[in-house]
Amino acid sequence: MSIDNVSDIWDQLFGAQPDPPGVLVLVTAAIALVAVAFRPVWRIARNAITIAHEGGHAVIALLTGRKLRGIRLEFDTSGLTLSAGRPTGPGMILTLLAGYVAPSLIGVLGAWLLGGNRITLLLWLAVALLLLMLINIRNAFGAVSVIVTGAIVFGVSWFADPPVQAAFAYVGVWFLLIGGVRPVGELQNQRSRGRMPESDADQLARITHVPALFWVFVFFVTNLAALAAGVFLLAGQFLNGSTPWT
């Protein structure tokens, strides 16, 4: 690869893309909202939320000095991240906290990158994180899920035209922001029926001696705040967006 080619890739990765049409921000938000609200679509698309959820557990486990044992992603969109270390203490608490808030916080990061028109950088970061996650997947369905997701993101980032890349990136970020809220409601619904005795919230309750409902509330408020932050960041793109695509 020549120096010129490396320079071109660097410019493509870290350079800002043109402003998207303002209407794209609204249309992609509507698409993401439908994907979250419409149950048949949600059942499939929720796998992306699970990937982000388990990835959040894994990253915080490593950052707090725990040893990552592996990640499983299941067909029913549930998941499990195993790590070794002290069963109590700040590291375990932060690891348990990370799952339900990870999709929304990743969505805020994505909204910030989109606010700077760093669409290519956003897509390539997603591919890199998926590759790192794949190394730690310990079941066949999980590996297929991550590979397919990564292949789609890479394909769009490498082969698609800028308008398609922008639409894909905006739908993805909106989906993380909006979709990060729904699992918290599902969590409490399942807990109220006694179907999730080992949920993240219940494990936090046992470790901290603070009621599980408090931790559900923390998840919910954090994700709503992330959604509000994402709306604020992306609203600027709507107001400043171009009319025709140039």
Average pLDDT in the chain: 91
pLDDT digits (tens, 9 = 90+) for 50-78: 999 999 999 999 999 999 999 999 999 99
User: Does the residue 81 lie in any domain?
Assistant: no
pLDDT in tens, 211-229: 999 999 999 999 999 999 9
Residue type, 238: F
pLDDT digits (tens, 9 = 90+) for 14-45: 666 777 888 999 999 999 999 999 999 999 99
For residue 86, tell me if it sits in a domain: no
5: in domain: no
Tally of domains in the chain = 1
Which value, to the nearest 10 degrees, does the dihedral of the CA atoms of residues 129, 134, 136, 140 take? 150
pTM score of the predicted model: 0.92
In this structure, how many other beta carbons lie within 10 angstroms of the beta carbon of residue 82? 16
**3, part of any domain:** no
Does 1 map to a domain? no
**Are 240 and 22 spatial neighbours (Cβ–Cβ below 8 Å)?**
yes
In-domain check, residue 245: no
Question: What range defines the domain where residue 60 resides?
Answer: 20-73+92-240
Does residue 231 lie within any of the structural domains?
yes
Residue 135 lies in a domain: yes
Amino acid at 172: G
